Amino acid sequence: MAGSDFLLELDAVTVRLGGRDVLSGADLAIARGEIIGVSGPNGAGKTTLLRVAANVLRPATGRRIGRPRLAYVPAAVDPPLLQAGGWLSGVRCVRRVPPSSVLEQLAFDGALDRPCRELSFGNLRKVLLADAFSSLADLIVIDEATEGLDSRGAAALVELMVEARGRGASVLFAEQQTQRMVGADRLVSVRHGNLVVDPLSGGEVTVSLRGPTAALSELTKGAEALGFRYIVERE
Amino acid sequence: MIAFNLRLAGRSMRWLGPALILMIWILATLSAPGPALANAGSLFLVLVGLTCWLTVTIGNVDDDGHRELLAAAIGSPARLHRSRAISAYLAANTVSAAGTLACLVATTEPTRPTAEIVVVGACVLMQLAATAVGVAIGTLLHRPVLRHAGVTLLLTAAALVGIILLPPVQFVLRALNDGRTTGVIALAAAGVIIALAAVTAASALADRRN
């Protein structure tokens, strides 16, 4: 495994919180242009894994190899005190594309000139995602990726991840439920702090698509483009 | 990121407390003028506390999730911590400039032109020393390093009293009261060195914070 082939490698990473190992000896190599989905039950260590990858948490033991430019979307963020547009313009000086184009793609329907606290939870998530996907980041880390998103937003997120892969950026995202993991090249699970390769990886991946009829065509197109088998679950 | 930190802190309105205290001090000094150097001595004590408060305010302006988002954007929690300490230092010096101006305006002693430069220089150096010491204390006490507000409050009070009672600080303050500038340069230099050491230590702790 040559170091240069990977954007980021976690080597035997252990994280201790409150005296117990939340993550234990985790190995994960993220290649350039790879989308990795992380699943696992509540408290399994998904967020901890993502925080280590995003370089916001230093492991107790083990190594984090690689210094990619990062964008991290945490699962929960209190609305920042600024207007949404002002926040987006302040977080990063240089961007790949204007965040407004990503917001449009995500079907953001809030007002950028209003304070973030006035946005709905879903629209605030879209602002955070727009920040990440409009950035120059090589690695985009998203916790609870589809949390708060409507079906259009969720479909657009898959498109954005695939576009990011196309330009050589990597995406590491976490979801509670495996059926939401549309778009991932590889799935890993975290169980009791241990990283295991998801049984779906390396084989044929079947995903469940559920949502309003209008959005299903976009979801099925996305699933087909990624080579997934899919089951449509009508609401 | 420094401008962004300042905008966040500005919107939070938590700077209002320190600003009001400084305003009260300025009004009190203007209404009862004294020698400029003595004014600078009393301003030093006020500014250490105010800068500490401002540093904690800028450090604690957001929740953990937002701080982590920014830390990833800037590279690491340590870099974010440093940027916030610099933001606090700049903000404190901008606000404190009004206090230093008041020291010079509210003087009772007509001074010779040559002495004026020394007096102005001493007042500015005392301001820089006070803000550096304030940042040094504040940066070690805000949330990424210490998580409990009560502990932060107690340690802040203890650190402020400790700094003020330090013999070298007392020596400089007494000299200023006597109209001398002895030790001012050394105090300013020591303040900057202490601030750099504190920010480095706090950044390392912020990076390791689990």
**Of residues A2, A10, A69, the one with CA closest to residue A190:** A10
In Å, how far are A173, A200, A206, A227 from A186, measured between CA atoms? 11, 8, 13, 13
Q: pLDDT tens across B125-158, in order? A: 999 999 999 999 998 887 777 777 788 778 888 8
Cβ atoms of residues B90 and B10 within 8 Å: no
Whole-number pLDDT of residue A192: 78
Cβ atoms of residues B32 and B117 within 8 Å: no
Task: Give, for B90, the enclosing helix (H) or strand (E).
Answer: helix B77-105
- Report the Cα A147 to chain-centroid distance in Å: 10
Burial group, residue A128, by CB count within 10 angstroms (0-12, 13-18, 19+):
buried
Rounded distance, CA B101 to CA A217, Å? Answer: 68
pLDDT class of A1 with cuts at 50, 70, 90: very low
Whole-number pLDDT of residue A204: 54
A166 is in which domain, residue-wise? 3-234
Shortest CA gap A172–chain B (Å): 14
Q: Which residues of B touch A82 (CB under 8 A)?
A: 7-8, 11
**Of residues B52, B60, B53, B62, the one with CA closest to residue B16:** B53
Q: Which residues of A touch B206 (CB under 8 A)?
A: none
Residue A2 has pLDDT above 50, yes or no: no
Q: pLDDT tens across B41-87, in order? A: 889 999 999 999 999 889 888 888 899 999 999 988 889 999 999 99
Q: Do the chains contact at B69 and A51, CB–CB below 8 Å?
A: no
- What's the predicted TM-score (pTM) here? 0.82
**Of residues A193, A112, A206, A101, the one with CA closest to residue A156:** A101
Residue A164 neighbours by CB under 8 Å, 6+ apart? A35, A133, A140, A170, A171
Rounded distance, CA A6 to CA A66, Å? Answer: 8
Give the residue with greater pLDDT, B201 vs A178.
B201
Residue A135 has pLDDT above 90, yes or no: yes
Q: Shortest CB distance from B72 goes to which of A58, A60, A70?
A: A70
Q: Show me where the domains of chain B are located.
A: 2-208
What amino acid occupies position B185?
A: I
Mean per-residue pLDDT over chain B, rounded: 86
What is the edge-to-edge ordering of all strands in the sheet holding A35-39?
A70-73, A139-142, A170-174, A35-39, A186-191, A194-197
Residue A231 has pLDDT above 80, yes or no: no
Burial group, residue A192, by CB count within 10 angstroms (0-12, 13-18, 19+):
middle
pLDDT class of B20 with cuts at 50, 70, 90: very high
In chain A, how many domains are there?
A: 1
A131-151 mean pLDDT: 90
Q: Is the dihedral of CA B139, B145, B151, B155 positive or negative?
A: negative
Residue A125 has pLDDT above 50, yes or no: yes
Cα angle for residues A125, A129, A132 (degrees, 5° grid): 145
CATH number reported for the structural domain that contains residue A59 in this entry:
3.40.50.300
Whole-number pLDDT of residue A3: 45
Three-state DSSP state, A152: helix
pLDDT class of B111 with cuts at 50, 70, 90: low
pLDDT over 90 for what percent of chain A?
24
Using CA coordinates, name the residue in chain A closest to B70.
A91
Using CA coordinates, name the residue in chain B closest to A14.
B210
Q: Do the chains contact at B73 and A90, CB–CB below 8 Å?
A: no
Cα angle for residues A114, A118, A120 (degrees, 5° grid): 120
ipTM above 0.85, yes or no: no
DSSP B121-163: HHHHHHHHHHHHHHHHHHHHHSTTT---HHHHHHHHHHHHHHH
Q: pLDDT tens across A172-230, in order? A: 999 877 666 777 888 888 887 787 766 555 545 566 777 777 777 777 777 776 666 67
Residue of B57, B145, B210 to mutate, interface with A, max A Cβ within 10 Å: B210
Give the residue with greater pLDDT, A44 vs B129.
B129
